[in-house]
Chain A
Amino acid sequence: DQQVKQNSPSLSVQEGRISILNCDYTNSMFDYFLWYKKYPAEGPTFLISISSIKDKNEDGRFTVFLNKSAKHLSLHIVPSQPGDSAVYFCAAQNFGNEKLTFGTGTRLTIIP
């Protein structure tokens, strides 16, 4: 059973516009969420995270929103740049447990 889901396998966005990547989870025990960015032949790189006590966390062009009631989080990238083209994974954790549960990824393509 996939506890963390990214239902869009791919997304194309015009350069300069906003990219919105979505992630849903089913396990209400998750209380910490992370986004990773992955280029081909490399490991995922940590981007941004959010604790369940918050509903928004911002870091430069990246903002993560968490809607606990809907068990939904999203990553906003604005403005989108060509270097943002990559596969993005969301992941979730229970507090005190380092086990990461990953989504299946969304390939973001930024169109110049």
Chain B
Amino acid sequence: GAVVSQHPSRVICKSGTSVKIECRSLDFQATTMFWYRQFPKKSLMLMATSNEGSKATYEQGVEKDKFLINHASLTLSTLTVTSAHPEDSSFYICSASSGSGTDTQYFGPGTRLTVL
């Protein structure tokens, strides 16, 4: 079955630093990857959608200069939280899809970011 990994699983950083989170599809080509942020009450907020080789599409209210997304290959997308602040502390989850128009998404295990 399809597997999506995220690295790191946990990261603690100081305020003002940048943190990069990787999302990899291990055994399939992900033409589309999604980045989510989890809020209390467990729902996931879609932050952005990225297609390989093109710029990510950000959801309203998500600062694209703060949350840099790169989908450099069909198996790797990265989310960089720049100049992190304590309010950026959250659980970030990626998912990947092998084709447009499909509902099947494979989710990564998530990354817990804590900004001190």
Q: Of all chain B residues, which has the CB nearest A44?
A: B44
13 A-B pairs with CB atoms under 8 Å apart are A2-B2, A44-B44, A87-B103, A89-B107, A98-B91, A98-B112, A100-B110, A101-B109, A102-B105, A104-B104, A105-B104, A105-B105, A107-B103
Q: Give the interface SS of chain B, mostly helix, strand, loop or mixed.
A: loop
Q: Among residues 87 to 107 in chain A, which have CB atoms less than 8 Å away from a CB atom of chain B?
A: 87, 89, 91, 98-102, 104-105, 107
Interface size class on chain A is 20 to 34
CA distance A99 to B45 in the complex (A): 16
Given contacts A105-B103, A107-B103, contact A100 B46 (CB under 8 A): no
Q: Among residues 48 to 74 in chain B, which have CB atoms less than 8 Å away from a CB atom of chain A?
A: 59
Does any Cβ of B come within 8 Å of A41's Cβ? yes
Does any Cβ of B come within 8 Å of A59's Cβ? no
Instruction: List the B side residues contacting A45 at CB < 8 Å.
Output: 43
Does any Cβ of B come within 8 Å of A43's Cβ? yes
Given contacts A36-B44, A104-B104, contact A43 B109 (CB under 8 A): no
CA distance A89 to B109 in the complex (A): 14
Which of B3, B9, B36, B104 touches A99 (beta carbons < 8 Å)?
Answer: B9
CA distance A5 to B107 in the complex (A): 12
CA distance A36 to B39 in the complex (A): 14
Given contacts A2-B1, A45-B43, A100-B93, contact A9 B104 (CB under 8 A): yes
Instruction: List the B side residues contacting A89 at CB < 8 Å.
Output: 105, 107
